[in-house]
């Protein structure tokens, strides 16, 4: 399995060693913009990093993403959460997209959505601040087949809100538009 660094998202400089109890220690020797090497641990065979792995990059996303999952909402598809982040925290959203890219702007293996936003939401679930469950991907997100749905505890009743149904309720296309591409192509603060 190839392990990527949760700070620089590269695999080239990552080395590992086995620890007791099925744990693995990783070290990325990349200079990380002067911050030096990065270390983390994970369960052997798991691609999911521990909470400390993504802390530096995703800390600023925790509170905004938590607020994008509303009290009283049923489970909402990932695209709804990301759209709310994009609307309510545009500079934060665009800074991560500028740094890591987005599927809207062309295929990249590790985008802000697939790595940073997902990692921050996962950290919130690990802390039991949010609940997650898998479900069908809809609209522009259907290229994934399945995505996560998010809610605040306790587990809500009722049908989930899909990206497609959310888009219909606000009068926008469930597919990505030229306006989406233009918005994500601009630089934060511009």
Q: Write out pLDDT tens, residues 7-19.
A: 777 777 788 777 6
Count CB neighbours of 185 within 10 A: 13
Q: Is the pLDDT of residue 49 over 50?
A: no
Asked whether 124 and 68 are in contact (CB, 8 A), the reply is no
Last residue of a domain, one of 37, 52, 67: 52
Residue 190 lies in a domain: no
Q: Is the pLDDT of residue 52 over 50?
A: no
Q: What is the pLDDT of residue 46?
A: 53
Burial class for 48, CB neighbours closer than 10 Å (0-12, 13-18, 19+): exposed
Q: Is the pLDDT of residue 103 over 70?
A: yes
Q: Are residues 22 and 63 part of one domain?
A: no
Asked whether 26 and 35 are in contact (CB, 8 A), the reply is no
Q: What is the pLDDT of residue 153?
A: 95
Give every CB contact of residue 144 below 8 A, 6+ residues apart in sequence: 137
Asked whether 138 and 74 are in contact (CB, 8 A), the reply is no
Residue 4 lies in a domain: yes
Q: What is the pLDDT of residue 54?
A: 44
Q: How many domains, in total, are found in the chain?
A: 2
Q: Are residues 43 and 69 part of one domain?
A: no
Helix axes 78-88, 163-170, angle to 10 degrees: 40
- Give the residue numbers spanning the domain of 29: 1-52
Residue 176 in tokens: 């990505």
Give every CB contact of residue 134 below 8 A, 6+ residues apart in sequence: 146, 147, 148, 149
- State the residue for tokens 């898998």: 134
> DSSP class of residue 161?
B
* pTM more than 0.75: no
Q: Are residues 146 and 98 part of one domain?
A: yes
Angstrom distance (rounded) from CA 98 to CA 169? 29
**pLDDT single digits (tens) 61-80:** 889 999 999 999 999 999 99
Residue 156 lies in a domain: yes
Q: Are residues 76 and 156 part of one domain?
A: yes
Q: Is the pLDDT of residue 51 over 50?
A: no
Q: Are residues 72 and 3 part of one domain?
A: no
């Amino acid at each position: 399995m190839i392990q990527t660094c949760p700070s620089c998202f590269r695999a080239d400089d990552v080395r590992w060693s086995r620890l007791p109890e099925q744990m693995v220690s990783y070290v990325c020797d990349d200079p990380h913009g002067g911050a030096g090497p990065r270390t983390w641990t994970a369960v052997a065979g798991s691609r999911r990093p521990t909470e400390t792995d993504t802390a530096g990059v995703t800390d600023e996303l925790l509170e905004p993403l938590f607020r994008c999952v509303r009290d009283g909402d049923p489970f909402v598809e990932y695209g709804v959460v990301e759209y709310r982040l994009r609307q309510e925290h545009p500079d934060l959203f665009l800074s991560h997209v500028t740094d890591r890219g987005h599927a809207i702007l062309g295929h990249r293996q590790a985008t802000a959505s697939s790595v940073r936003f997902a990692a921050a939401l996962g950290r919130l679930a690990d802390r039991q601040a949010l609940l997650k469950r898998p479900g069908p991907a809809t609209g522009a997100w259907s290229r994934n087949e399945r995505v996560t749905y998010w809610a605040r505890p306790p587990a809500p009743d009722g049908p989930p809100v899909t990206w497609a149904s959310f888009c219909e309720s606000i009068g926008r296309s469930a597919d990505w538009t030229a306006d989406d591409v233009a918005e994500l192509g601009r630089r934060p603060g511009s």
